[in-house]
Amino acid sequence: MKKSIITQKIIAKAFKDLMQSNAYHQISVSDIMQTAKIRRQTFYNYFQNQEELLSWIFENDFAELINDNLDYYGWQNELLLLLCYLDENQIFYQKIFVIDKNFEHFFLIQWENLLDKVIFDQEKKSDYHWSDLEKSFICRYNAAAICAITRESIIRGNSLEKLYSQIVNLLLAQIKIFES
């Protein structure tokens, strides 16, 4: 059976909406489907359980934000889109960081993907050719730092959009150091 992305998104939105005012463990499949206004059994056509729904949300949301758009937007616009998305869904991600330890690793990988795009875009603009070691270092180093600072900001309820210019300036300064 072909899975409808629209139905999956409706279920995911209902789950996110419920997470705004409920703890993860207090939300049942029945609650999700009642909020989605879809019969309960339909949930199981798409997901085995709530953990699978949660993984789907991570993969789908970040794939749409980062991986699907990397070739269309410059990295600075992509960064801003990601930070705004995280701000809009801050309560959801505050709870996710507490209940799902695997999410932090997933989050780190998404930052690495975005930073890899930063280096790729920069390489097209300059005469400098980055070695694999340099690319790996700057992506992994900055991804870890940005992941930690955004995670902390989410948990504390601080605006991530305010980090935008600081992250951009830091990355541009580091790129200049490598290229000189």
Task: Determine the topology of domain 1-47 in CATH.
Answer: Arc Repressor Mutant, subunit A (1.10.10)
The pTM assigned to this predicted structure is 0.85
What pLDDT was estimated at residue 84? 93
Residues of the chain with CATH 1.10.10.60: 1-47
* pLDDT < 50 regions, the chain: 1
What pLDDT score does 1 carry? 45
Distances (CA, A) of 31 to 14, 19, 88, 130, 133: 9, 11, 22, 51, 49
Cβ count near 86 (within 10 Å): 22
Look at residue 69 in the predicted model and tell me its pLDDT. Answer: 67
What residue type is assigned to position 146 of the chain?
Answer: I
- State residue 52's pLDDT score: 94
Helix, strand or coil, per DSSP, at residue 124 = helix
Q: What's the length of the chain?
A: 180
Give the class (CATH, top level) of 49-177: mainly alpha
Place of tokens 């729904």: 53
In the chain, CATH 1.10.357.10 covers 49-177
